[in-house]
Structure 1
Amino acid sequence: MISKFWFEAQNINCFKGGFRVIKDLNLKISYSENVILIGPNGSGKSSLIEVINRNIYPVKTKKSKLKILGSELINLWELRKRISTVNNDIKNRINPNLHVYDLILSGLYGRYCYIPNKSERDLHEVENIMKNMDISYLSKKNFSYLSDGEKQISLIARALIKKPDILILDEPTANLDYKSKFFVIDKINELSKLNTKILCVTHNISMITPIYDRVIMLKSGRVIAEGNQNKVINNKNLNKLYGINLEVVKENEFWTIKRLPKE
């Protein structure tokens, strides 16, 4: 029987540098849902991405279990093909003079450089993804000339060209100004029309838009709340998550928070 979950963790614990970064994690994520994982810095969000990408491994016990893409025996080639991750470190690997068109095409080869021998099929794939994401106007621009928001969307397009089942976005609006941040959020919302499902990992509550079927709150390596966003996003859970007195408000389908005075 084929599992409906692409990620299944049961009682897993992970360590980095002698510290336990994932604690007794029980979590399932299905192929049919867009999920946003939210938590403060140091909550274990990046560590969970490393678990998914097989960069760190859980401690094996009789009570623990980890399945990715329905299997405990995880094929790294299949993993790289079916799960694409975009993080902010990628920007440092790219030649600043590389055209956006060639950057996106390089995703078909798992590289970050100019690909000299392009097939007609490759060209069609690049043109198609740029058209679907409405970024064809960036095609001939050098990567270094892009705004921070355009850089992020170009990297997302590069990740999507392989048509993965799952797209992991690691802090996609980190260090962006307001214009770039909202540009990226709007583009991510448009991705919900594609077949690829999104796991967005962030500390920023304004990232939580209607495309997300489920919100997971992570603190100190543990899930403290999860479910539908209208159920999970409330003052009590956010105060617990961030450890300060906050008030959350939803206006025009966007969540905002403000800090309340100390009692």
Structure 2
Amino acid sequence: MVNKFWLEAKNINCFKDGFRVIKDLNLKIAYSENVILIGPNGSGKSSLIEVINRNIYPVITNESTLKIFDKELINLWELRKRISTVNNDIKNRINPNLQVFDLILSGLYGRYCYISNKSERDLYEVENIMRNMKISKLSRKNFSYLSDGEKQISLIARALINKPNILILDEPIANLDYKSQFFVIDKINELSKLNTKILCVTHNISMITSIYDRVIMLKNGEIIADGPQNKVINNKNLNRLYEIDIEVIKKNGFWNINRLTKGQL
């Protein structure tokens, strides 16, 4: 029988710099679902991405198991082909004069630079992904000339060029103005038509749109709520997650937060 889960974690604990950043994690994520992982800064969201990408390793015990694509030991090259991650650090690696077309094409080679020996197949793949994401007009723009929202979408297109099974988006609207936030959110929503499934990691509730089958709340390295968004997104869970007095309202398909009392650190 084919395993329906690409991620299976049982009783997983992880440490970074002497601190336990993942605590007794039990989590399964199916190939069929788009998932959004939400939590405040320092909740362990980025650490979980590092566990998935094999940048940090869990403590091994007889009671713990971590399987990715049904394998406890997985070749890192296979992992990189099947999971693409977009985070905000990537922007610092890119030559500002690199054109968007060449940036996306570089994803086929696992690099962030101009590729001189392009094949006809390479060109087709880039044109196809840009057409599907409706960003063909950006093709010949230098990366430095793009808006912050356009930069983020160009990096997502680059991540998708190899047709990964899973796309991990790490805080995709962090540090963006409202116009860029809405642009990126709308483009990510359009990705739901592709075969790649999304694991979005954020602290911003406005990222939670209808494409996500499941919401997971993470606090202090532990899952405190997990399920369909209409069951998980409520005042009680969000007050516990962020430790502030708020109410949540869904309007026009988007979740919004209203503050009820002054916050305290």
Per the alignment, residue 207 of structure 1 pairs with 207
1:244 and 2:241 are equivalent in the alignment? no
- Normalising by structure 2, what TM-score? 0.98
Confirm or deny that 1:102 pairs with 2:102. yes
Letter in 2 for 1:226: D
Q: Who is 1:197 aligned against?
A: 197
User: Retained in 2: the 8 A contact 1:94–1:112?
Assistant: yes
Alignment match, 1:71: 71
Residue aligning to 1:115 = 115
The yes-or-no answer on 1:81 pairing with 2:89 is: no
Correspondence for 2:48: 48
Structure 1 residues 44-193: aligned runs within 5 Å: 44-193=44-193
Distance change in 2, residues 1:42/1:121 (3 Å): same
* Equivalent residue, structure 1, for 2:2: 2
Distance 1:135 1:62, change over 3 A: same
The structural deviation recorded for 1:261 is: 1.8
SS of the aligned residue for 1:20 comes to strand
Structure 1 consecutive aligned stretches of length 4 or more whose deviation exceeds 6 Å: none
Name stretches of at least 5 consecutive residues in structure 1 with no aligned partner.
none
Deviations 1:148-178 (A, max 9, x none): 0000000000000000000000000000000
Change (3 A) 1:262 1:116: closer
Name the aligned partner's letter for residue 43 of structure 1: S
Identical counterparts, % of pairs: 84
Does the residue aligned with 2:89 lie in a helix, a strand or coil? helix
> TM-score under structure 1 normalisation?
0.99
CA-to-partner distance for each residue in 1:42-66, whole Å, 9 max, x for gaps? 0000000000000000000011000
Q: Which amino acid aligns with 1:56?
A: I
Contact 1:2–1:70, Cα closer than 8 Å, also in 2:
no
